[in-house]
């Protein structure tokens, strides 16, 4: 391949990328006041894929997600939503395109499931506009997709952790956005509820066509469910790509400082990470 043709193909892919990425950061600096979390960070979220962001505690992955969802204004650089600067669009416009499930959501006392899910319709409603059929339809579809229809009239605080998390997902779905951002959605859930929720996300991605971005702690969940993996350490992207392409023992060592063994997952044929831990030292 000649020098010229390789440059040509590079230009082509760059052009395709701007079309394909639903959301991207262009060399952003993210900071909370003086505390700089990431410098010159560029990340692309491919359209229609399930992207998972992983990295050690404090690496800036949640901060990145906050900036991607317009909650945090970058000190420099820009964030593009469908090719347009996210901060030149109003909160409400963004809320029609991008839904977020933050870690910090507080369910109001004694609120019914259906009422909480209905709040997802807020960005579509105008002053003095009555509840429409479209609103009702969106809420019903969201509750069906997440399997919370049966407890529509229950109080949210009477539900189990897994059910409650599905209600929050339903609220974000009622927003009818093509993009859905999830900040550690499986934290505090038991293993069965974690898998149930991850399967739900996979369905939302594959069946309903949502572009998903999730920050996860569990590397094996990340490898099994992600189409596209972004590995971050200390505010820098260390590797991106499909789990099968990028996850190696060396990479895990580099990013997490963890010595591990990687086997093919016998069920999904994705990388299965087995930490060596102290057991390796004594054997």
Partner 1 sequence: MISNSINFKNINLRSVFAIPSEISLAVALTITLGITLIFFTLFIGDDVVNNLQSIWHLITGEADKYQSIVVWQWRASRLFSALVIGAALGISGAVFQSLVRNPLGSPDITGFNVGAFTGVLVSIALFGNFYWYSVIGSLIGGLAAAILVYIFAYKDGHSGFRLIIVGIAISATLTAFNQWLSLTVSLETAMTAALWSAGSLNGMTWGRILPASLLILLLVGLALLLNTRMKLLEMGDDIAAALGLSVNKTRLLLMLIGVSLTAVPTAITGPISFISLAAPQIARRLHSQQHITLVGSALVGAFLLMTADFIGQHSWQNATLPVGLVTISLGGLYLVYLIIREGK
Pick 54 or 182: Cβ nearer partner 1: 182
Read off the tokens for 197.
């929720």
Pick 142 or 229: Cβ nearer partner 1: 142
> Whole-number minimum distance, CB 1 to partner 1, in Å?
46
Pick 61 or 70: Cβ nearer partner 1: 70
Cβ contact 252:73 at 8 Å:
no
> Whole-number minimum distance, CB 30 to partner 1, in Å?
16
Pick 71 or 280: Cβ nearer partner 1: 71
Task: Work out the burial of residue 7: count CB atoms within 10 Å of its CB; fewer than 13 is exposed, 13-18 middle, 19 or more buried.
Answer: exposed
Pick 123 or 185: Cβ nearer partner 1: 123
> Whole-number minimum distance, CB 216 to partner 1, in Å?
18
How far apart CA 58 and CA 52 sit, in angstroms, is: 16
> Whole-number minimum distance, CB 125 to partner 1, in Å?
8
Residue 104 contacts by C-beta under 8 Å, 6 or more apart in sequence? none
Closest CA to 62 of 20, 3, 104: 104
> Whole-number minimum distance, CB 116 to partner 1, in Å?
8
Interface with partner 1 (CB under 8 A): 32, 66, 69-71, 90-96, 98-100, 102, 104-112, 119-120, 122-123, 127, 155, 157-158, 172, 175
Read off the tokens for 59.
């690496």
How far apart CA 155 and CA 192 sit, in angstroms, is: 23
């Amino acid at each position: 391949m000649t020098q010229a043709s390789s440059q040509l193909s590079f230009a082509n892919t760059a052009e395709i990328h701007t079309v394909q990425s639903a959301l991207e950061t262009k060399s952003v600096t993210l900071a909370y006041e003086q505390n700089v979390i990431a410098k010159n960070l560029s990340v692309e979220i491919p359209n229609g894929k399930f992207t998972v962001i992983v990295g050690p505690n404090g690496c800036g992955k949640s901060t990145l997600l906050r900036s991607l969802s317009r909650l945090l204004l970058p000190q420099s650089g820009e964030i593009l939503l469908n090719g347009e600067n996210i901060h030149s669009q109003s909160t409400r416009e963004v809320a029609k395109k991008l839904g977020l499930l933050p870690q910090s959501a507080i369910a109001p006392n004694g609120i019914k499931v259906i009422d909480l899910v209905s709040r997802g319709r807020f960005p579509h409603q105008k002053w003095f506009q009555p509840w429409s059929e479209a609103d009702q339809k969106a809420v019903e579809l969201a509750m069906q997709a997440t399997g919370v229809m049966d407890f529509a009239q229950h109080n949210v605080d009477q539900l189990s952790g897994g059910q409650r998390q599905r209600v929050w997902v339903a609220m974000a779905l009622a927003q009818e956005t093509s993009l859905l951002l999830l900040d550690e959605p499986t934290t505090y859930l038991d293993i069965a509820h974690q898998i149930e929720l991850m399967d739900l996300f996979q369905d939302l991605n594959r069946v309903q066509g949502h572009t998903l971005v999730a920050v996860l702690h569990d590397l094996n969940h990340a490898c099994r469910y992600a189409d596209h993996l972004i590995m971050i350490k200390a505010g820098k992207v260390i590797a991106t790509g499909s789990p099968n392409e990028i996850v190696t023992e060396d990479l895990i060592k580099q990013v997490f400082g963890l010595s591990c063994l990687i086997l093919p997952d016998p069920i999904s044929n994705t990388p299965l990470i087995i930490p060596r831990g102290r057991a390796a030292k004594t054997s």
